Amino acid sequence: MTARPESRRFPDRQPSILAVCDSDSYLKWGCATLDALPADWRRDVLLLRTPILPTGAQIAAATTGTFQQDKPTAVIERARLGAELARRGPDLVLAAATGPVAEQILVSAARIEHRPALVTGLPGVALPATFKALRYRSLSDAFITHSYAEQRQFRERAASLQLPVDILLSRLPFLTADVDHANFPQGDAPAPDRVVFAAQAKVPVAVADREKILLSLAACKRRSPSTDVDIKLRARPGEAQTHLEHHPYDELWTHLARRGEVRGDELRFVDGPMSAHLGEGTVLATVSSTAALEAIDAQLPVQIVDDFGVNDEMLNTPFIGSGCVGSLADLAAGRFRYAAREWLGENYFHPADSKLQDAFERLAASSRTGALPETASRVRKLRIRRVRAEIRTALPAPAVRLVRRLQSGYRAATTP
């Protein structure tokens, strides 16, 4: 493991950061982000009790290889968050959570008398950059991106929304810190010992498309019986995950076996840390999972399935030009490739540097000296927006129209 640099701006007292998380993927990202900071930082992690609270097994998988491994991860009720933040008094709060929960974390932290610096981001491939993602995180002082393309798009979105947020660039924290692209293998990959398909909750949506993936994986196994073919699940039955999965692969596989379309023993379903499934001789296949980047980082062949499109809807546009986009027919036939070297630097494999640590230290120093921008006016605007949203969902349409007419009349009567 790479030695941690020492913090430079805090000779008297170690800087402190608290990551507040809500799901397994955000917990993994939050812990890995804090793990990349100097060892003399005070680093803590909280989980909020929400419907997507990870199980003990998911927590263990998410914290593997970080400073939080084998440590208890505190879980608190959302109603206690403000008091807990005030009690701990961190210099920085990392809101590592889904949009609505991230907004609640940021509001709670912004209300503290001597507020901490507020940092947030997304836990993997974050393209396309959406206005929605930034609106939920509009109170943040800094937003972390993980590629040059992400940084450019989120800067454009933030400027359009007139948000005073610093768009930072960092390496995805679970990728290797120092990597020489010149040594990455290129071209066609040899026959693998193992094929791992990284499942996702959001894409593809249609049952028929998911069944096509399963049938292609089964065909891959039948073509090469000595090759292990695994589906890496994000959650087992009864476990929550960041995004709701309406048609889990293990359930669809059972249906295919019952219909006689597969034998039923071609595939294995596995879970746990992704890193445990990326050994030598493995190929990683997926529609768009961030696991593809972990596999590329391990210098393994990767296949991004393009049968359902390579576009924003499939969340896989960052892989255009990667050289590892292929079809289900390629998957069934065992044709795989390594990522193109010229694609790496622009897309998540840029050189590691200390800029994120420098930004965190500046923010922590501003927090301690009370030099952070005021957030009270933005908190009030958020509160008004949330009330309006609740009114729109709670009232019938005619009542909403009446409220709007009354608001317009009031503004007209009070405008000089």
Q: How far is CA 107 from the centre of its chain?
A: 21
pLDDT over threshold 70, residue 138: yes
Could you give the strand order of the β-sheet that contains 74-76, starting from the edge strand earlier in sequence?
74-76, 42-48, 16-21, 92-96, 117-121, 142-145, 166-169
Amino acid letter, residue 52: I
Q: Tens digits of per-residue pLDDT, 178-208? A: 667 778 899 999 999 999 999 998 899 999 9
Predicted confidence band of residue 353 (pLDDT cuts 50, 70, 90): confident
Averaged confidence pLDDT in the chain = 90
Nearest to 270 by CA among 235, 305, 318: 235
Residues facing 213 on adjacent strands: none
How far, in Å, CA of 156 to CA of 319, rounded?
A: 21
Q: What is the pLDDT of residues 86-113, one digit of tens each?
A: 999 999 999 999 999 999 999 999 999 8
Q: What is the pTM of this model?
A: 0.86
Q: Where are the beta strands (DSSP E) in 242-367?
A: 268-270, 282-286, 302-305, 325-326
Kindly report, residue by residue over 272-308, the tens digit of the pLDDT.
Answer: 899 999 999 999 999 999 999 999 999 999 999 999 9
Spatial contact of 232 and 291, defined as CB atoms under 8 Å apart: yes
What is the topology classification, in CATH, of domain 16-175+352-371?
A: Rossmann fold (3.40.50)
Percent with pLDDT over 70 in the chain: 86
pLDDT at 220 over 60: yes
Q: What is the pLDDT of residue 2?
A: 44
Q: How confident is the model at residue 392 (pLDDT cuts 50, 70, 90)?
A: very low
The alpha carbon dihedral of 219, 221, 224, 225 has a sign of negative
CATH architecture assignment, domain 181-344: 3-Layer(aba) Sandwich (3.40)
* pLDDT band at residue 404 using 50, 70 and 90 as cut-offs: low
What is the pLDDT confidence band of residue 177, given thresholds at 50, 70 and 90?
low
Q: Can you tell me the distance from the alpha carbon of 209 to that of 252, in angstroms, rounded to the nearest whole number?
A: 11
Beta bridge partners of 283: 195
Angle (deg, nearest 10), helices 207-223 and 249-258: 70
